[in-house]
């Protein structure tokens, strides 16, 4: 029986051959039009589809979406090869060395008692590597194009990596209450710009709380939104069953149906 890695290499080579056929003159017009920007955008979309499959706990869908992500990664590398010769082995070797270098508490002599210390070590080494470049600011490199919740999380993680963090989640909860109080004051004053600022502060603080409690804010918000959709759909079904339209119902009547929908889950 041939080694598994040989089978993997053959499949990757076959995938590349197919992709090159699509890209060459006479191939697929759509595939020939794609550039790096296009494919990186698709990579983001497919990554979210992979995340959705994971949340559905659908093993078959996870495998399919992972395959889509892998195909796009190969597509991106092919586009790079069309510009310059950069073998995939070199890219893999480079990231492998980086991973080893950033885990001295595993492959070296330093120690990390918990994930917080591990993250701090990672950020310290990353900044050390970047000092060789023009700048090495702590928050540089956080992509502007990240979705807002993920960008806030990334910024907070980097700041925490240099020790700029709350000792525990209790301080963040206190800060959240403080920010809510400030929002209430601005609502009373009726200053639209200040209200927006305070809501932004509250959202940022909630993301920070989620990070400190090791919860992905985007993931749990997605889950809560899906739960709301399910429950609201039940409210609509019950209203229709009773011969009512939501627009003709009072808030109290809808709230009663809402509570009933909660009890069903």
* Domain final residue, candidates 21, 56, 86: 86
Band of pLDDT at residue 132, cut at 50, 70 and 90 = low
Q: Residue 13 sits in which domain range?
A: 6-86
Tokens 């701090």, residue? 120
pLDDT tens digits for 54-111? 988 999 999 999 999 999 999 999 999 998 888 999 999 999 999 999 999 999 988 8
Tell me which residue of 107, 172, 110, 158 sits closest to 130, measured CA to CA.
158
Per-residue pLDDT at 134 = 55
- Cβ atoms of 175 and 204 within 8 Å: the answer is no
> Does the residue 256 lie in any domain?
yes
Q: Which CATH number goes with the domain that contains 17?
A: 1.10.287.1080
Residue the block writes with tokens 């980086």:
98
Cα atoms in the Cβ-side hemisphere of radius 13 Å centred on 205 = 19
Residue 154 lies in a domain: no
Alpha helices in the chain, H assignment, sequence order: 4-23, 29-33, 36-55, 59-83, 88-101, 104-107, 115-130, 148-161, 169-189, 192-212, 217-241, 251-263
Q: Is residue 147 part of a domain?
A: no
Question: pLDDT tens digits, residue range 190-208?
Answer: 989 999 999 999 999 999 9
What lies within 8 Å, CB to CB, of 10 at 6+ separation is none
> What is the tally of structural domains in the chain?
2
């Amino acid at each position: 029986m041939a080694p598994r890695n040989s089978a993997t290499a053959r499949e990757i080579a076959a995938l590349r051959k197919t992709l090159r056929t699509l890209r060459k003159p006479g191939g697929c017009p759509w595939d020939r039009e794609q550039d790096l920007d296009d494919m990186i955008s698709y990579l983001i979309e497919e990554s979210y589809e992979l995340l959705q499959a994971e949340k559905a706990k659908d093993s078959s869908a996870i495998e399919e979406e992972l395959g889509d992500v892998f195909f796009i990664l190969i597509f991106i590398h092919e586009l790079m090869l069309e510009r310059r010769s950069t073998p995939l082995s070199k890219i893999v070797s480079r990231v492998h060395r980086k991973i080893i270098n950033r885990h001295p508490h595993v492959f070296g002599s330093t120690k990390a008692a918990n994930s917080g210390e591990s993250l701090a070590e990672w950020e310290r080494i990353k900044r050390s590597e970047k000092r060789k470049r023009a700048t090495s600011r702590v928050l540089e490199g956080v992509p502007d194009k990240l979705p807002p919740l993920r960008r806030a999380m990334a910024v907070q993680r980097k700041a925490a990596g240099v020790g700029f963090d709350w000792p525990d989640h209790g301080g963040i909860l206190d800060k959240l209450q403080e920010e809510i109080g400030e929002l209430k004051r601005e609502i009373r004053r009726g200053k639209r710009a200040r209200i927006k600022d305070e809501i932004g502060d509250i959202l940022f603080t909630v993301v920070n709380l989620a990070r400190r409690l090791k919860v992905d804010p985007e993931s749990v918000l997605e889950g809560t939104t899906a739960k709301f959709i399910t429950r609201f759909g039940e409210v609509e079904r019950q209203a229709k069953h009773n011969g009512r339209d939501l627009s003709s119902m009072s808030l109290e009547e809808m709230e009663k149906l809402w509570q009933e929908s909660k009890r069903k889950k």
